[in-house]
Structure 1
């Protein structure tokens, strides 16, 4: 389950679309060829097709920027061309307090693309926690129009990932107005929050729909044990009871188990950790048939893009791309043109387009 990553000759040419972005975190595509890009410090910008970076949009909610928190993911609604709806995931401060939580807001991009209008926070992780770590925060719209959101364990609250009376260390599934779908697995169960889809997660910073229509995600392990999972309704993914990692500095976590009855095994894991962020399946043939269906994951720790080949539900090979730049890869998405786009998480961050050689 833990395949080694091998270096390969570069089969893509990174083309800089825009530079000068400060720690960009998430990218979404607008129908006219422009991009929406978040900067972790709390700014959302429109980037033109020719790379011009617009002024920070007005109208954003308050953001608890610091540590791993800030303005994180952004996604456009599947009907954006008609409704101009945008979703943003961010660390939401507690009014008058030091605590915060992962939150999801829905808004409309103004006609002149200078502000967000009608901003509504449709979901806020419960409880709020005094922490600047492990927010999760990736947004995925499912084929049925519901929204998945990954929620971290907030680092100091990992035991709560096994409890259903909170949102810590969970994947949730909600309607676009923030309500829980009636077919969610824990609806009507006493002591369980109805938004929960799956639990036992640590810190999911990559999520996407697979070619099979299912949700796929990856999550950071502690020291070792980063995982890829395809979370199913009501399933327990084990954290912190089972893990292929260990405590920072060494030493087992809990009983040191890697497997336990009633808890799901990852589809793939990395030891040592690559610190994954961003996740996309390639569904186009822009890079040739051999790449179609491959999964792409960014590495923050080692500064490469991982191309992952699957066969029979298992990883059979991994290939390092973009390692010559050694930049922290924060997000990767397939664009409407079928090409891959990458964000580098640097003070002078870049939006890159990967051109086939």
Structure 2
């Protein structure tokens, strides 16, 4: 029988009070790179994960529109009320989630999703809300502060990753070109761009195209395709992780005002076999730090800063959809070099560093496992 005291508690309190064990470890994987791998929870089409600062709680998004809170060491989750209505389908749905730099005092989180427009058009948005954990976990005061412009047809290449600068002053958002190619080179819209905003969503002062006004004032860099990773390295530089077409996945050092070439150049070709000029043919355009052909089909990336795997410090760890595991990359100046691939036997959508320096990865799709990776003791 359930403890009568626990019956009176909120869903989150039950989660915090529970002592449920993680799902059983997968012994067949334990030889992988000297790690212990434990499956701890399951989710339906998860997309993003973030730990709340100063806690052992993480927020996890599911593409159909659910936001869940999960406590490290537990198998059960609690749904957060007040999540937005999303345009689910194709690559669209609920996307990224990050805590505000001042989360400890404001309780605010930022999240992105695909939003329906008029007719058959849609586009990504970013919003901010206050996360309330007392009682029923919920989002309050959800407010959209940025939108992709223009909204277009189709359900691909939203990108909508969110990253705050290390000083917390600026909000960066990756905006995919929505499988429309040419908008990546059009400075009157924000498709195929990285944008730099203030935390309230307005264009940040000093952006390279501020003198053009309008949407152009948001733009930090352009010529991007589908950016599924956007993260600052420990030395404070901004990097992105992009899907190429048939070949040409890449990591870029993102710098203000630079044109990264899509669709003018790529290290891959069109899906119908039509060739695309290579990056080396256009030295006036920013070349990637590394590119892959065949592709790794990345999901997201982090820069590792923990102590659990000290040999990885400062390196990029990429969640691989196509590569089915983790791709480890060393950064060498403004270039990058693949070091290792860690086979996890399934498509990996998201990777996150835990407070203790261990790792969590989220598989892709329905019934996706949240897997905990730690050094073997």
In 1, the alpha carbon distance for the partners of 2:334 and 2:367 equals 38
Residue equivalent to 2:173: 149
TM-superposed deviation, 1:50? 2.8
Residue equivalent to 1:349: 368
Residue equivalent to 1:175: 198
- State the SS of the aligned residue for 2:36: strand
Q: Map 1:275-286 to 2 at 5 A.
A: 275-286=297-308
- State the SS of the aligned residue for 2:123: strand
- State the SS of the aligned residue for 1:127: coil
Matched-pair contact (CA < 8 Å) for 2:300–2:318:
yes
Residue equivalent to 1:164: 187
Bigger mean CA deviation after superposition, 214-223 or 75-84? 75-84
TM-superposed deviation, 1:78? 1.9
Given the superposition, is the C-alpha separation of residues 283 and 50 from structure 1 closer, same or farther in structure 2, using an over 3 Å criterion? closer
Bigger mean CA deviation after superposition, 73-82 or 10-19? 10-19
Given the superposition, is the C-alpha separation of residues 62 and 260 from structure 1 closer, same or farther in structure 2, using an over 3 Å criterion? same
Q: Map 1:173-212 to 2 at 5 A.
A: 173-189=196-212, 193-212=216-235
In the alignment, which of 227, 235, 240 is matched to residue 258 of structure 2? Answer: 235
Q: Does 1:244 align with 2:267?
A: yes
Residue equivalent to 2:9: none
In 1, the alpha carbon distance for the partners of 2:164 and 2:279 equals 34
In 1, the alpha carbon distance for the partners of 2:358 and 2:231 equals 16
Residue equivalent to 2:332: 311
* 1:156-189 deviation digits (Å, cap 9, x = unpaired): x211101100011000111111101111111122
Q: TM-score, normalised by structure 2?
A: 0.87
Matched-pair contact (CA < 8 Å) for 1:38–1:74:
yes
Matched-pair contact (CA < 8 Å) for 2:279–2:287:
no
TM-superposed deviation, 1:192? 6.0
In 2, the alpha carbon distance for the partners of 1:119 and 1:263 equals 39
* 1:140-160 deviation digits (Å, cap 9, x = unpaired): 1102321111111101x2111
Q: Map 1:1-357 to 2 at 5 A.
A: 10-19=33-42, 21-30=43-52, 31-94=54-117, 96-112=118-134, 114-145=137-168, 146-155=170-179, 157-189=180-212, 193-253=216-276, 255=277, 258-288=280-310, 290-321=311-342, 323=343, 325-357=344-376
In 1, the alpha carbon distance for the partners of 2:65 and 2:229 equals 20
Matched-pair contact (CA < 8 Å) for 1:110–1:116:
yes
Larger Rg: 2
> Of the two structures, which has the highest relative contact order with CA contacts closer than 8 Å and spacing of 6 or more?
1
Residue equivalent to 1:5: none
- State the SS of the aligned residue for 2:111: strand
Matched-pair contact (CA < 8 Å) for 1:148–1:171:
yes
Residue equivalent to 2:12: none
* 1:30-63 deviation digits (Å, cap 9, x = unpaired): 2320110000111100112232433432212221
- State the SS of the aligned residue for 1:46: strand
In 1, the alpha carbon distance for the partners of 2:268 and 2:354 equals 34
Count of residue pairs brought into register by the alignment? 343
* 1:68-116 deviation digits (Å, cap 9, x = unpaired): 000011101122121111111111111x532111110100111325211
Matched-pair contact (CA < 8 Å) for 1:327–1:346:
no
Residue equivalent to 1:3: none
* 1:310-342 deviation digits (Å, cap 9, x = unpaired): 334433442111x1x421111112222222221
Question: Which structure: greater helix fraction?
Answer: 2
TM-superposed deviation, 1:258? 4.4
TM-superposed deviation, 1:243? 0.4
- State the SS of the aligned residue for 2:216: coil
Given the superposition, is the C-alpha separation of residues 82 and 211 from structure 1 closer, same or farther in structure 2, using an over 3 Å criterion? same
TM-superposed deviation, 1:256? 5.8
Matched-pair contact (CA < 8 Å) for 2:87–2:115:
yes
In 1, the alpha carbon distance for the partners of 2:202 and 2:126 equals 12
Given the superposition, is the C-alpha separation of residues 297 and 110 from structure 1 closer, same or farther in structure 2, using an over 3 Å criterion? same
